[in-house]
A and B are shown apart, each in its own frame.
Chain A
Amino acid sequence: ELEDGLDEAFSRLAESRTNP
């Protein structure tokens, strides 16, 4: 569950920096 959460957190980070 933690791993899934971290995967998602990295996706969100990448997304937020691509479209700030």
Chain B
Amino acid sequence: GGVGMASGAYVVPKSVWLPAMKAKGLEISGTFARRAGVLQMELSLTNKAMSIMSDFAIQFNRNSFGLAPAGPLQVLTPLSPNQTIEVSLPLSTVGPVMKMEPLTNLQVAVKNNIDVFYFSCQYPISMLFVEDGKMERQVFLATWKDIPNENEAQFQIKDCHLNADAASAKLQSSNIFTIAKRNAEGQDILYQSIRLTNSIWVLSELRMQPGNPSYTLSLKCRASEVSPFVFQSYEMVLKN
């Protein structure tokens, strides 16, 4: 499992983004988190070379949601051989935008006193779900009607054993807000909304039947290319 946090949102465990053998002994592992509304890239830097590393800096290529470092990479003391340090890099979402493939891909350059190194990583789109993403009920109904059927995508979430209220609470801790709950023919149905940092809204219908571990998720969004990533977020949140 991941590291718990105050708001209860799930954080993916760190993985290796830059192996030491590709970066003259510098190993970087990391993950992304949204902590109380603040976006962070959380990094572990390990020196697997035989000399000291210093003068660290980081830069992002333009990306789909304008992610950019909101400050310098704070490595205040040189990194000795075999030493690991943990660094949190605050992020903003007002950097230059360029649509990436896949959508949530981020290209990063890290520099130290030895060289400049490049790697790619992917962030969970749930990191971009804002705290004020609960849509007015009237607006939800109008928007749901307004978004064409071609923009609706349907997904199955398997092996889920939460009831509707538990699922709703869990999703809310990741800024997926329940606007209405209904029951029709024995199925519990949640209507939910999400707003991304770039003001894209995603509307969802989550169906579940007591005793059936497979949920049906329908997503409606004007920018429908985000839907598969939002589905991944539902899976990640509900199963962790």
Residues of A within 8 A of B (CB): 2, 6-7, 9-11, 13-15, 17-19
Tell me whether A13 and B138 are in contact in the complex, defined as CB-CB below 8 angstroms, given that A18-B184, A18-B185, A18-B187 are known contacts: no
Tell me whether A13 and B191 are in contact in the complex, defined as CB-CB below 8 angstroms, given that A2-B138, A6-B137, A6-B138 are known contacts: yes
What is the distance, in angstroms, from B23's C-beta to the closest C-beta of chain A? 51
Query: Which chain B residues border A10 with CB–CB below 8 Å?
Result: 137, 141, 180, 182, 191
What is the distance, in angstroms, from B128's C-beta to the closest C-beta of chain A? 27
Q: Known pairs A13-B182, A14-B182, A17-B189; list 17 more (Cβ under 8 Å).
A: A2-B138, A6-B137, A6-B141, A7-B180, A9-B141, A10-B141, A10-B180, A10-B182, A10-B191, A11-B182, A13-B141, A13-B144, A13-B191, A14-B184, A17-B205, A17-B218, A19-B184
Query: Which chain A residues border B184 with CB–CB below 8 Å?
Result: 14-15, 18-19
* Closest CB pairs A-B (n = 7): A14-B182, A18-B184, A10-B180, A14-B184, A6-B137, A14-B189, A9-B141
Query: Which chain A residues border B218 with CB–CB below 8 Å?
Result: 17
Question: In whole angstroms, how far apart are the Cα atoms of A19 and B218 in the complex?
Answer: 15
Q: Is the interface of A mostly helix, strand, loop or mixed?
A: helix
Name which residue of chain A comes closest to B191, CB basis. Answer: A10
Name which residue of chain A comes closest to B182, CB basis. Answer: A14
Residues of chain B in range 135-181 having any CB-CB distance to chain A below 8 Å: 137-138, 141, 144, 180
Query: Which chain B residues border A9 with CB–CB below 8 Å?
Result: 141
Question: In whole angstroms, how far apart are the Cα atoms of A2 and B9 in the complex?
Answer: 34
Query: Which chain B residues border A6 with CB–CB below 8 Å?
Result: 137-138, 141
Name which residue of chain A comes closest to B188, CB basis. Answer: A14
Most chain A beta carbons < 10 A, residue from B144, B182, B191: B182
Question: In whole angstroms, how far apart are the Cα atoms of A1 and B138 in the complex?
Answer: 13
Query: Which chain B residues border A14 with CB–CB below 8 Å?
Result: 182-184, 189, 191
What is the distance, in angstroms, from B75's C-beta to the closest C-beta of chain A? 52
Query: Which chain B residues border A2 with CB–CB below 8 Å?
Result: 138
Q: What are 19 sample pairs from A and B whose C-beta atoms fall under 8 A apart? A: A6-B138, A6-B141, A10-B137, A10-B141, A10-B180, A10-B182, A10-B191, A11-B182, A13-B144, A13-B182, A13-B191, A14-B182, A14-B183, A14-B191, A15-B184, A17-B205, A17-B218, A18-B185, A18-B189
Question: In whole angstroms, how far apart are the Cα atoms of A14 and B206 in the complex?
Answer: 11
Query: Which chain B residues border A11 with CB–CB below 8 Å?
Result: 182
